[in-house]
A = this chain, B = another copy of it.
Amino acid sequence: MTDVAALAGVSHQTVSRVINGKSSVREPTKARVRVAMAELGYRPNAAARVLATGTSRVIGVVARFSTLYGPAATLAALSDAALAHGFSVNVENIRTLDKKLVEAAIGRHLNQRVAGLVVIAPVESANEAIDSLSGDTPLVCIDADPDRPSELVAVDQELGGYLATKHLLTAGHRTVWHVAGPSDWFDSRDRAAGWRRALEEAGAEISRPITGDWSAASGYDAGQILAGISDATAVFASNDHMALGILRALRESGRNVPQDMSVVGFDDVPEAAFFIPPLTTIRADFNAVATATIELLLAQINTGTRRGERTLIAPQLVSRSSVAPPYVR
């Protein structure tokens, strides 16, 4: 910056003013500075700026890079939403949702003096890490425990599970089986809770859920089990990938979907419409999640207070041909 100032024949402060778009710099001066910057290939040092100002226009995100649709879509939407408000997003990847790793990732963000923090922490262990925060950095959690006191944005998983199950019951099924995700995920827990509530309301029999790990492979295993249960006519899978595995297993066992078994998934991955048959599923609006998250965060950043708000995004049923009334013998 000193070099630029010297070359342009001004003080470093004037260079600073040009960089930050302050008014009160005459146009010819501005031009001279710009030329000097270009000439020298000058790049402002972000570290020095952070040090001098004490803040940055960066939002720290703690998330797990994953090829799972939900997490990946949320991350993309989050980045867009932040950019729209002039913030950039810095993602710290965590290999597992382990408490120590989450803590370390949060710590690195705090060391960077991020303006705010978004933690995507769908499991209990990660939540504990959040508590170890000093608490003076604006923070919003995504998909965290709905019962926690912190500021929170989440898809209403329970409602989604309820809608899926209700849809199947309304179609005429006497009860609905469930293939759940890993039990330590809130998403999984709450979707199962919605499933259970719908069954209870209908006075339907509640079978023990089959637990998968979100993968199509685990869905396939669950599907084989289901195929062996002769009176099962409907199943709600906790995500679309597991539903895909179920579809395959059922077909191999000679049970047709939807004639012999109706299937509902969760997520509405872009491919769900092209499964065989097309999958009825629950769609969550990840853009809404991201937008709400950034808004809550900015409110905290601007006011300096945490208000403990929680935003629930209601998911919607997307009806396709994997659901039909049960075949009556």
Residues on A facing B (Cβ under 8 Å): 41, 43-48, 50-51, 56, 65-67, 69, 72-73, 75-76, 79-80, 83, 88-93, 95, 107-108, 110-113, 134, 215-217, 219-220, 241, 244-245, 247-248, 251, 269-271, 273-276, 278
Contact = CB atoms under 8 A, between A and B. Distances in A.
A274 B220 contact: yes
A247 B278 CA distance: 12
A112 B46 contact: yes
Please state the number of chain copies in the assembly.
2
Q: Which of A72, A110, A216, A274 has the most CB of B within 10 A?
A: A274
Contacts of A271: 216, 241, 244, 271
12 contacts: A41-B134, A46-B112, A46-B113, A65-B72, A66-B76, A67-B72, A67-B76, A72-B72, A91-B91, A91-B93, A216-B270, A244-B274
Nearest to A104: B88
Contacts of A113: 45-47
Contacts of A50: 47
A45 B134 contact: no
Given A43-B110, A274-B220, A93 B76 contact: yes
Nearest to A67: B72
Which 5 A-B residue pairings sit nearest by Cβ, starting from the closest? A47-B50, A65-B76, A79-B93, A46-B111, A216-B274
A48 B45 contact: no
Contacts of A73: 67
Nearest to A105: B88
Contact of A107 (B43, B76, B108, B270): B43
Contacts of A79: 65, 93, 95
A47 B43 contact: no
A275 to B, nearest CB: 8
